[in-house]
Amino acid sequence: MYKNYRYSELSKKSSEVGIIFDVMVTGVTGAGKSTTLNTLFQKEVSKVGRGVEPETMTLDSYKLNDSFRLWDTPGLGDGKQKDKEHSKNLIDLLYKDYQRDNKTYGFIDLVLVIIEGSNRDMGTTYKLLNEIIVPNFQSDRIFVAINQADVAMKGRYWDFKNKKPMSKLKNFLEEQADSIQRRVKEATGVNIIRPVYYSAEYDYNIDKLLDLFIDNMPKSKRNIVTS
C-alpha cells in the first residue's frame, strides 16, 4: 500500500537525523489537530472534541515510529485570556532547548500549523502564523496544511462516495493554498512552503501530508547557536 510505503520513508528519513525528531502540531481550536493525529496513527491517540469545548488543554506527545514524535498543543480561539496563555506556552516551547555533546539544540525540530478549510477563523489563524510561529522559528521548518477539505465550501462539491473534492472544490483549495502562502509572505516577508490540503475525517490526501514531511524534512536536529 502506498501510504504504508510513505510511513516507511518517513521512518527512514527521521531516523537519519540520529535522535528523535520532534514536531509541534498547532492551529486554531476546531482545525482538526486531534483528528489529524488519529488519522496519521490510524487509531485514536488523541481525544477529538465534538462540542464547543477544546479538548487539548495540555501538551501530549505521540510517537509515530521510534524516531518521529508529534506534540499536540492547545488551539487558539478560546478567548482573549486563554489565547494569551496559549501563545506564551507555544513560544516557550519553540525556544525550549537542551544540551548534547557540548552543543545546544532546539527541542522542537519542526512546526506543523493546521488550518481549518472552512475559513471560520482566519483572523486567529493569521495571528498564530504571523505573530507567534513565523517570528520565533526558522521559516524552512514551518509547514502549513489545510484540513477539512470536505467542508471548505460549506460541504458543497465534495464527492462523498469517492471521498474526494470535485473539480470546483479542488480549484478552490488550490487557490486557498496560494492565498495563505501569499498572505504570510506579505505580513512577514517569509516565503513558507506551499500548504497542502487534506481531510483527516475522510482520509483524503493524507499521503500528501506525509510527503510534506518526507520531501522537506531537515537533515539534522535544530542547532541553536548561543552567544
CATH number of the domain that 87 lies in? 3.40.50.300
Residue 218 lies in a domain: yes
Distance CA 158, CA 150 (A): 6
Judge whether residue 138 has pLDDT over 60.
Answer: yes
Residue 15 lies in a domain: no
Distance CA 193, CA 113 (A): 12
Please tell me the pTM assigned to this model: 0.88
Which among 1, 24, 21 has a CA at the least distance from the CA of 10?
Answer: 21
Judge whether residue 110 has pLDDT over 90.
Answer: yes
User: Which amino acid belongs to residue 74?
Assistant: P
Residue 188 lies in a domain: yes
Do 125 and 27 contact (CB within 8 A), yes or no? yes
Distance CA 191, CA 68 (A): 25
Which structural domain, as residue segments, surrounds residue 187? 20-44+55-224
Residue 129 lies in a domain: yes
Neighbouring C-beta atoms of residue 57, cutoff 10 Å? 13
Residue 11 lies in a domain: no
Residue 30 lies in a domain: yes
Residue 8 lies in a domain: no
Residue 10 lies in a domain: no
Backbone φ/ψ region at 47: left (φ over 0), alpha (ψ -120 to 50), beta = beta
What does the DSSP 8-state code read for residue 94? H
User: Mean pLDDT, the chain, as a whole number?
Assistant: 86
Judge whether residue 47 has pLDDT over 80.
Answer: no
Tens digits of per-residue pLDDT, 147-196? 999 999 988 999 999 999 999 999 999 999 999 999 999 999 999 999 99
Judge whether residue 60 has pLDDT over 50.
Answer: yes
Judge whether residue 48 has pLDDT over 80.
Answer: no
Least trusted range by pLDDT, from 32-36, 132-136, 222-226? 222-226
Q: What local confidence, expressed as pLDDT, does residue 43 receive?
A: 63
Q: Say how many domains are in the chain.
A: 1
Distance CA 91, CA 168 (A): 38
Neighbouring C-beta atoms of residue 53, cutoff 10 Å? 9
Distance CA 124, CA 195 (A): 17
Tens digits of per-residue pLDDT, 78-108? 888 988 998 999 999 999 988 888 889 899 9
